[in-house]
């Protein structure tokens, strides 16, 4: 729909001509993220400060516009898609590292700071920022906070919520709140934890305090090669049973590792059924002991070979293959649908079998690359968007995979978020009473239902159907 001329005048008066997109060709760039859903905004705005965000929120309130916060748009569940149109607030120009406090091992950043840039800023001093999504060269901290992003190395270190100490945020009425503190352990309710992972449905985060970690004394990376996917899956459960917790356990099945090897030449064996990329960190002596114990467990589970990276360059190449896995799929399929279910580590092998059967059922050659250490499955379902029905078939198969994850004690998401993609599946994950409680929290923070409407909750439990006439719903 056309934007009220008064809205454009107000926004341009605040941000200038270069602070707003409103032309159709500009808005097309903001109708999608890394997932498969699409919806056009009515305007996109680019604040540079918290004060700008407050003013924009008040303008949106005055004219009844929905508001959607957006970072780099790398999300995979439609979290930044403006499902009901309205104003997209892009945080790409709020991209400054405001403070680095090494004495207290923390930093304060704006939401548009790229994830990897924090580590690059503190690496010369022997520190790093632990959460490392595969998109860490592009994704922003604000988006990471919204989705509670993870990554390969969060097996030992924890996901985003474990590394956020404080937040500054703007509520739907323009009120600015500050929660948490430098130490990350403040009195009262854990509002930092509540807002982290709330997907922009409760507040717009404008400043983030994060923990910094010291770089480990020693790092060792192992590549375990298997002739059977089941043997690789069983190794994950066996490591857990032995009380061994590497910082990362990543798994690639045969189809995936062959795509990756063709694209990156990382050194993955083309004839393997699966590989585990396992990394341990810490004191030199402890790393050596852990590596030996891991090799022993791999052998007991039928590993064909275990290779140990002999240099930093070899280690970086192995990780380059894993980090670029999603991009490598483009050599085989024009596009793909990726899922994000979680299962107990002891159910990884069983889940891989179920995924294979679901792929056969729907005629989809599913491949897998995922965070095996914490059971965060990422089945890849290729499809051709130009062939009618292929996307829909992939979505149905993906939903069946997620329902299986729930059935074995898992979850519909580990790090991609619920967004609009999995909202209807929330009713399979949670009871009616639990969904009603979640809705009460949403209404407490955003009673007018203008912050990212139509996300997280099923549309029957959310506010999209209340705010928007049926014609506006997707």
Question: What are the tens digits of pLDDT across the range 137-155?
Answer: 999 999 999 999 999 998 9
Q: What is the pLDDT of residue 149?
A: 97
Q: Tell me: do 103 and 167 sit in the same domain.
A: yes
The domain tally of the chain equals: 5
Q: Tell me: do 104 and 204 sit in the same domain.
A: yes
Q: What angle do CA 208, 210, 214 make, to 5 degrees?
A: 160
Q: Tell me: do 241 and 304 sit in the same domain.
A: yes
Q: What is the CATH number of the domain that holds 373?
A: 3.30.70
Residue 414 lies in a domain: no
Q: Treating both helix axes as pointing N-terminal to C-terminal, what angle do 348-362 and 229-241 enclose, rounded to 10 degrees?
A: 150
Q: How confident is the model at residue 3 (pLDDT cuts 50, 70, 90)?
A: confident
Q: How many CB atoms lie within 10 A of CB 64?
A: 11
Q: How confident is the model at residue 334 (pLDDT cuts 50, 70, 90)?
A: confident
Task: Examine the pLDDT at 410 and tell me if it is beyond 70.
Answer: yes
Q: pLDDT tens-digit profile of 79-106? A: 999 999 999 999 999 999 999 999 999 9
Q: What is the pLDDT of residue 112?
A: 98
Beta-sheet strands, E only, within 379-437:
379-383
Q: How confident is the model at residue 461 (pLDDT cuts 50, 70, 90)?
A: low
Q: What percentage of the chain reaches a pLDDT higher than 70?
A: 96
Q: pLDDT tens-digit profile of 104-121? A: 999 999 999 999 999 999
Nearest-angstrom CA–CA distance, 28 and 47: 20
- Say if residues 78 and 54 touch (Cβ distance below 8 Å): no
Across the chain, what does the average pLDDT equal?
Answer: 94
Q: How confident is the model at residue 470 (pLDDT cuts 50, 70, 90)?
A: very low
Nearest-angstrom CA–CA distance, 141 and 117: 10
Q: Tell me: do 16 and 77 sit in the same domain.
A: yes
Task: Examine the pLDDT at 469 and tell me if it is beyond 60.
Answer: no
Domain that holds residue 360: 333-407
Q: Treating both helix axes as pointing N-terminal to C-terminal, what angle do 229-241 and 284-300 enclose, rounded to 10 degrees?
A: 130
Q: pLDDT tens-digit profile of 209-232? A: 999 999 999 999 999 999 999 999
- What is the largest distance, in Å, between two alpha-carbon atoms of the chain? 70
Q: What is the dihedral of CA 45, 50, 53, 59, to 10 degrees?
A: -130
Q: Tell me: do 209 and 222 sit in the same domain.
A: no
Residue 288 lies in a domain: yes
Q: What is the CATH number of the domain that holds 208?
A: 3.30.465.10
Nearest-angstrom CA–CA distance, 44 and 30: 8
pTM above 0.85, yes or no: yes
Last residue of a domain, one of 90, 121, 143: 90
């Amino acid at each position: 729909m056309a934007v009220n001329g008064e809205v454009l005048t107000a926004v341009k008066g605040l941000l200038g001509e270069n602070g707003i997109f409103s032309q159709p060709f500009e808005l097309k760039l903001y109708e999608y993220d890394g997932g498969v859903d699409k919806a056009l905004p009515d305007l996109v705005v680019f604040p540079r400060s918290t004060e700008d965000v407050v003013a924009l929120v008040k303008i949106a309130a005055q004219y009844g516009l929905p508001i959607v916060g957006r970072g780099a748009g790398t999300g995979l569940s439609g979290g930044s898609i403006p499902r009901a149109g309205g104003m997209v607030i892009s945080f790409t120009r709020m991209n400054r590292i405001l403070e680095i406090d090494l004495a207290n091992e923390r930093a304060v950043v704006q939401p548009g700071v790229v994830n990897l840039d924090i580590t690059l800023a503190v690496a010369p001093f022997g520190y790093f920022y632990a959460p490392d999504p595969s998109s860490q060269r592009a994704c922003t901290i604000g988006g990471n906070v919204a989705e509670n992003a993870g990554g390969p190395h969060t097996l030992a270190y924890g996901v985003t919520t474990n590394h956020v100490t404080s937040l500054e945020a703007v509520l739907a009425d323009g009120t600015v709140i500050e929660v948490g503190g430098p130490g990350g352990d403040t009195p009262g309710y854990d509002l930092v934890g509540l807002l982290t992972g709330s997907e922009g449905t409760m507040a717009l985060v404008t400043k983030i305090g994060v923990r910094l970690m010291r770089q480990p004394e020693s790092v060792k990376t192992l590549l375990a090669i298997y002739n059977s996917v089941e043997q690789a899956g069983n190794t994950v459960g066996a490591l857990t049973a032995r009380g061994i917790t590497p910082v990362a356990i990543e798994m690639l099945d045969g189809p995936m590792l062959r795509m990756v090897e063709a694209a990156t030449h990382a050194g993955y064996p083309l004839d393997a059924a699966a590989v585990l990329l396992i990394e341990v960190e810490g004191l030199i002596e402890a790393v050596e002991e852990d590596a030996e114990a891991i090799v022993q467990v791999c052998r007991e589970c039928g590993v064909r070979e275990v290779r140990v990276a002999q240099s930093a360059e070899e280690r970086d190449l192995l990780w380059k293959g894993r980090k670029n896995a999603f991009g490598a799929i483009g050599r085989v399929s024009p596009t793909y649908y990726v899922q994000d279910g979680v299962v107990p580590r002891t159910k990884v092998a069983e889940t891989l079998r179920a995924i294979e059967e679901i792929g056969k059922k729907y005629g989809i050659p599913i491949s897998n690359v995922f965070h095996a250490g914490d059971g965060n499955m990422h089945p890849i379902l290729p499809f051709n968007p130009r062939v009618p029905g292929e996307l829909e078939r992939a979505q149905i198969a993906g939903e069946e995979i997620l329902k299986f994850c729930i059935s074995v004690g898992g979850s519909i998401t580990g790090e991609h978020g619920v967004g609009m993609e999995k909202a209807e599946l929330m009713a399979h994950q949670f009871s009616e009473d639990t969904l009603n409680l979640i809705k009460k929290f949403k209404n407490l923070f955003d009673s007018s239902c203008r912050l990212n409407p139509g996300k997280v909750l099923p549309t029957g439990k959310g506010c999209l159907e209340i705010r928007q006439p049926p014609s506006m719903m997707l």
